[in-house]
């Protein structure tokens, strides 16, 4: 099995290398994270949405570095893409993150001070055998992201842990499917006290339900949380984004469906920039047509549509966070 896995890793690296050449290497571009639109828009600049499956957008606190996930068709392999803002204000060409390329790595997120990048991976803690998904992190020293470190117990277990979100106090929110969960997947928090993480606890029924809750983003100040849930009565499709504010009593208020930005497809992977100006999320919405009544479509047009953004795979969208926040303050 070891040789087969190594072979798969090599093929995966070659696949993504060719993908970069075919889709990404088209010159630098002018994505400006400081000017989000007031309504939901596909990020059209910088080659972020290439027609492949992109998700999990993460922008550094200074706004000069970004990571996101590139996922293979069918979701069997994920890897993390890294880009930096150069002195001329343009973004560098996409590259595999220095720690990525061997195992499935996804869901990058910065610590509020920007000194750590957390992510999820099925990489082994020793040897070459892949394991369940754990939360890992890398630290930056001398401008370089160092070797990954497993976050360890009590957060990581024999089950899968996903989508870390780090607060100013050091608390970490994530989603997991544990035996003591309310549902098949819930949102948990591990409090950082006396320099140690405490046993994770599930958030209450204002957020978690008997259905699916996943991909939860919590603000550094822990005053709001945005997550995806599937199967609720007001669900518009395959999974919607919900938001909850923390009340004056310190408790989470009942989560509200963000109906103005959700679609009839899967909407997930929320992220808010550290300056609270922009909200990013991933959606599988599509602009493909089901028929061409007035004029027959050509093969060239079909291939262009199928290999472009909004083809039903994952794409990254954004809008002003103020517009999102306004929906739950009504």
What is the reported pTM? 0.90
Domain residues for the domain of 86 are 2-329
Residues 62-73 pLDDT 10s:
999 999 999 999
Look up the CATH number of the domain holding residue 160: 2.120.10.30
Rounded Cα–Cα distance for residues 83 and 86 (Å)? 9
Residues 178-225 pLDDT 10s:
876 667 799 999 999 999 999 999 999 999 999 999 999 999 999 999
The CA-atom distances, in angstroms, between 316 and each of 89, 141, 143, 200, 236 are 21, 29, 27, 30, 19
Q: How confident is the model at residue 237 (pLDDT cuts 50, 70, 90)?
A: confident
| pLDDT at residue 102 is higher than 90 | yes
- Go through the chain and tell me how many residues it has: 330
What's the total number of domains in the chain?
1
């Amino acid at each position: 099995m070891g040789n087969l896995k190594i072979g798969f890793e090599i093929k995966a690296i070659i696949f993504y290398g060719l993908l970069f050449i075919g889709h990404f290497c088209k010159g630098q571009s002018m994505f400006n994270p400081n000017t989000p639109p007031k309504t939901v828009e596909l990020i059209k600049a910088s080659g972020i949405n290439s027609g492949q499956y992109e998700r999990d957008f993460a922008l550094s606190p200074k706004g000069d570095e970004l990571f996101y996930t590139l996922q293979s068709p069918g979701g069997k392999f994920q890897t993390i893409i890294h880009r930096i803002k150069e002195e001329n204000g343009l973004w560098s060409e996409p590259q595999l993150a220095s720690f990525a390329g061997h195992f499935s790595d996804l869901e990058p997120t910065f610590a509020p001070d920007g000194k750590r990048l957390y992510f999820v991976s099925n990489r082994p803690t020793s040897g070459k055998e892949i394991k369940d998904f754990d939360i890992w992190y890398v630290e930056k020293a001398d401008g370089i992201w160092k070797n990954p470190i497993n976050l360890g117990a009590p957060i990581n277990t024999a089950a899968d842990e996903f989508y870390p979100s780090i607060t100013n106090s050091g608390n970490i929110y994530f989603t997991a499917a544990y035996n003591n969960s309310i549902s098949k997947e819930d949102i948990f928090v591990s409090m950082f006290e006396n320099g140690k993480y405490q046993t994770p606890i599930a958030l209450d029924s204002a957020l978690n339900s008997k259905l699916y809750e996943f991909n939860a983003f919590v603000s550094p100040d822990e005053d709001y949380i945005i997550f995806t849930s599937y199967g609720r009565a007001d669900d518009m499709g395959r999974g919607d984004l919900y938001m909850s504010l923390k009340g004056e009593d310190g408790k989470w208020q009942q989560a509200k469906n963000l109906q103005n930005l959700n679609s009839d497809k899967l909407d997930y992977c929320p992220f808010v920039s550290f300056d609270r100006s922009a909200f990013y999320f991933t959606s599988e919405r599509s602009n493909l047509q089901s028929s061409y009544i007035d004029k027959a479509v050509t093969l060239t047009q079909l291939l262009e549509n199928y290999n472009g953004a909004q083809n039903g795979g994952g794409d990254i969208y954004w809008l002003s966070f103020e517009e999102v926040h306004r929906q739950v303050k009504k």
